[in-house]
Amino acid sequence: MLPLYYKNQEDKSLKITGYEAICNLGNNIDEIYKNAIDGVSNCFDKLSGYITDNCIRVGLIKTDLPIIANNDFNIRCNRLILKTLGLMQDSIINLQKMYSKNRIGVVVATTNSGVEEYEKSKKQKHSELGNPAYFLKQHLELNGFYTTVSTACSSGLKAFIIAKDLINNDVADAVIIICVDTLAKIPIFGFSSLNVLSEKPSVPLSKNRSGMNIGEACSIFITEKDDKSGISIMGLGESSDVHHSTTPDPEAKEAINAIKQALYEAKKNPNEIDYINLHGTGTVANDIMEARAIYKVFSDNVPVSSTKPLTGHCLGAAAGIETALCCKLLDNFEGKLYPHIYNSKYDTSLPMLNIVQVNQKYSKCKICMCNSFGFGGANAIMIIGKENE
């Protein structure tokens, strides 16, 4: 049955023609991929100073970051953007040669921007969500459309939806997407107040789950029209629960709707998906909703895993780092998918999903689905693939 709402089938798909990332697992996408495919889940630190008299387990980026001369923009988010941008300098230069400065758009997904710096500086520009998008536009001397999207943890996939609309509506010929967030007291306090932070490793879908670990990350994508070579953005879906400000609808009705939208737009049946990257936060509410949504559409036929036990939950950057991991998996598939690290004690009150085990072998991975669910029931799904290569 088709979803109640679906995208115009005349819309053309886009290609991801370049991507890079930084997170706790590595200082580039190659390092991140190697650690993730091996299931390395110990790249975390215990830090104090965020919650009084308490240490928290976080996925911290440990690399030297450039200083930005203009103090209005010298925030950790922007410094991470510059560092990641440097990893794909040739691609950015080629993009600027290919398109007019008026025809390259910028979409940034973030929830924090410089809110942590604002605590000390009291500089209004540090707290503005639009700061990173404006910074990138200025840094690359672009004159086209730029914006910020902040729909909590689904921000990254929403950025791809906006990028597709910009290109399909001839607002831009190419869009640079950035998903970035850093550790900050405000969101950490918020999650702590909901009793969903854990001092232990996050173990999504486990009966012994105790909550999530927060991480930080930056990922950058270049998206262009479908006539380019690259990874196809085959299908996108989005919906809203209208259920609760922080808790997803346990029946997963709108999450299922978003999945069906993405499948319909991609013109794929559920059994044609090779791998699903779960939102997988390690909280009870998300596990219930997501397991029901996946099982309702796919049963236990498609391999699934959450990479958040490896990277932490990177908030507005979560969908970005997970999409970058899926892109690298499609480009570099060698018979393994990202393992689901969860202590192998499955919560049997949930529908049984097809969990990827460490070193489990698979014959192919040409199409991936990424799940992203934000506060307020902001659901987003993306299907990407390289099936014709």
SS (H, E, C) the chain: CCCCCCCCCCCCCEEEEEEEEEECCECCHHHHHHHHHCCCCCCCEEEEEEECCEEEEEECCCCCCCCCCCCCCCCHHHHHHHHHHHHCHHHHHHHHHHCCCCCEEEEEECCCCCHHHHHHHCCHHHHCCCHHHHHHHHHCCCCCCEEEECECECHHHHHHHHHHHHHHCCCCCEEEEEEEECCCHHHHHHHHHCCCECCCCCCCCECCCCCECEECEEEEEEEEECCCCCEEEEEEEEEECCCCCCCCCCCCHHHHHHHHHHHHHHCCCHHHCCEEECCCCCCHHHHHHHHHHHHHHHCCCCEEECCHHHHCECHHHHHHHHHHHHHHHHHHCCCCCCCCCCCCCECCCCCCCEECCCCCCCCCCCEEEEEEEEHHHEEEEEEEECCCC
User: What percent of the chain is predicted at pLDDT more than 90?
Assistant: 83
Give the HSE-up count for residue 338: Cα atoms under 13 Å, Cβ half-sphere.
Answer: 32
Q: State yes or no: pLDDT of 374 exceeds 90.
A: no
pLDDT surpassing 90 at residue 234 = yes
- In this prediction, residue 86 carries a pLDDT of 97
Parallel, antiparallel, or unpaired: how do β-strands 275-277 and 303-305 relate?
parallel
Looking at the chain, the domain(s) classified CATH 3.40.47.10 span 14-225, 231-385
Residue scoring higher pLDDT (366 or 191): 366
pLDDT of 298-344, one tens digit each? 999 999 999 999 999 999 999 999 999 999 999 999 999 999 999 88
Confidence band, pLDDT 50/70/90 cuts, at residue 250: confident
**pLDDT of res. 180:** 98
| List of residues 6+ apart from 76 with CB closer than 8 A | 65, 114, 116, 117, 182
> What's residue 265's pLDDT?
96
Residues 345, 347, 352, 354, CA torsion sign: negative
What architecture (CATH level 2) is domain 231-385? 3-Layer(aba) Sandwich (3.40)
pLDDT at 87 over 60: yes
Residue 8, pLDDT > 80, answer no
Find out whether 279 and 313 touch, Cβ atoms under 8 Å: no
- pLDDT-derived band at 64 (thresholds 50, 70, 90) equals very high
Burial (Cβ within 10 Å: 0-12, 13-18, ≥19) of residue 8: exposed
What integer pLDDT is reported at residue 12 of this predicted model? 67
- The length of the chain in residues reads 389
- Determine the pLDDT at residue 4: 41
Instruction: In whole angstroms, give the CA distance from residue 342 to residue 346.
Output: 8
163, 148 contact by CB (below 8 A): no
Total-model pTM: 0.95
Give residue 9's pLDDT: 47
Section 377-388 average pLDDT: 90
- Mean pLDDT to the nearest integer, 252-267: 96
Instruction: Say which CATH class 14-225 falls into.
Output: alpha beta
Residue 387 has pLDDT above 90, yes or no: no
Q: What angle do CA 138, 13, 178 make, to 5 degrees?
A: 30
